[in-house]
Amino acid sequence: MPKAGIIYNDVKPIAGRVAIELKDKLTAAGWNVCITSSIGGILGYSTPESSVCHTPIDGLTPPGFDSDMKFAVVLGGDGTVLAASRQVAPCGIPLLTVNTGHMGFLTETFLNQLPQALEQAMAGEYEIEERAMLTVKVFRGDSVLWEALCLNEMVLHREPLTSMCHFEIAIGRHAPVDIAADGVIVSTPTGSTAYSLSAGGPVVTPGVPVLQLVPICPHSLASRALVFPDTDSVNIYPVNIPRLVMVVDGNGGCYILPEDRVYMERSQYSARFIRLQPPEFFRILREKLGWGLPHIAKPTSVELP
C-alpha cells in the first residue's frame, strides 16, 4: 500500500477542512495516509529567563512520517512550507506545496488546482527540485545549546533594534572580519528572496551552490553583502552585552550571550519540492515580485501578473 502524508496549518480553517477531505480521498484510492499539523515544525522561542529552547533537528519528524512515504501535501503559506521542510527533510520526503496563504512564494500550486496536482503526484508525474538548507547551531564551549534546520535565513540582532551590534565573523578558513551593523543575515539561495532581499542582498537562483552574508544597515560603506561557496562554514562571535537574539526562518530562535558561538554549515539534508512542470524561477520572480517588468507598462506587449 503506497504511503502519503498531509501537513497543514491548523490556524487556517480552510487548510484543516481540505486536509480531512484530502485524507479521505487518498484513503479511498488505497493509500496509507498520515496527517499532522505544521505546528510540530515551529521552533520554540526562548525567553530572557530561559535562553535555550532546544529541539534536536531529528526530533521534529512527525509520527508515521518516514523514508517510505512517496510524498507529503503541505497546505498553508510560506511559513507552513518552512515548518514542513524542517519536519521531513531528514526523511527526504518530497513536498507538494499548496498555497492557502498570501504570497505563497515557495508554493507550487493553489487550492483550485489541487485535484489535478494530486492526480499527478499519485501517478509520479513530476520532477523533484532540491533546495539547500543550513544547519544552525549555538555552542557554549564544546556544548551544543540549540540547533535547527534553516531553509531561508538565520538573523542575529539586538532586541529591540535600538543600537549597533558588533560581530566577529569567520567564513571557512578566511581571516575573521569585524562588522558593525543593526544585525547580520546568513542566507541560502532560497532565502535570497526573503529578508536578505529586503536588506539589500542579491537574488540568487536556487541551484547556485552559495551562501550569502548580509549586514543589516551597516555602519560602514565597506560592509556589504558577501556571496561565498556553501562548502565554507560560518562562525559568528557576538561582542554585545548583555545578549543578542537569533531568529531562524522568521520563526524561532534563542538568546545569544557574549560567550556563545553561532555556527552554520550547509546541511546534509535538503528540502525536496515536487514540481508539476519544469521549474522556472524567473517566472516566479515576475509573478510574485514583479521582477523584469518594464518601468512603463505596455499592456499590448507584456502580460502583467
Q: Known catalytic residues?
A: 78
**235 belongs to an annotated ligand binding site:** no
Instruction: Find cell 558577501 and name the residue.
Output: 226
Report the run of H or E that residue 177 belongs to, with start and end: strand 177-181
CB contact at 8 A, 167 and 184:
yes
Report the run of H or E that residue 213 belongs to, with start and end: strand 210-216
Q: What gap in Å lies between CA 148 and CA 251, rounded to an integer?
A: 11
Report the run of H or E that residue 110 belongs to, with start and end: strand 109-110
In terms of Cβ atoms closer than 10 Å to its own Cβ (0-12, 13-18, 19+), residue 10 is middle
CB contact at 8 A, 8 and 38:
yes
Residue 223 amino acid letter: S
**99 belongs to an annotated ligand binding site:** no
**182 belongs to an annotated ligand binding site:** yes
Q: What gap in Å lies between CA 244 and CA 246, rounded to an integer?
A: 7
Residue 267 amino acid letter: S
**78 belongs to an annotated ligand binding site:** yes
**197 belongs to an annotated ligand binding site:** yes
Q: What gap in Å lies between CA 221 and CA 209, rounded to an integer?
A: 27
Residue 162 gets which letter from DSSP?
A: -
Neighbours of 78 (CB within 10 A): 21
Residue 234 amino acid letter: V
**130 belongs to an annotated ligand binding site:** no
Task: Please give the C-alpha separations between residue 283 and each of 67, 263, 288, in angstroms, as whole numbers.
Answer: 32, 34, 8
Task: Please give the C-alpha separations between residue 129 and each of 71, 239, 262, 266, 278, in angstroms, as whole numbers.
Answer: 13, 39, 29, 17, 9
**50 belongs to an annotated ligand binding site:** no
**195 belongs to an annotated ligand binding site:** yes
In terms of Cβ atoms closer than 10 Å to its own Cβ (0-12, 13-18, 19+), residue 226 is middle
**152 belongs to an annotated ligand binding site:** yes
What are the binding residues?
Answer: 78-79, 152-153, 182, 193-198, 251
Query: From the annotation, which residues make up the binding site for NAD(+)?
Result: 78-79, 152-153, 182, 193-198, 251
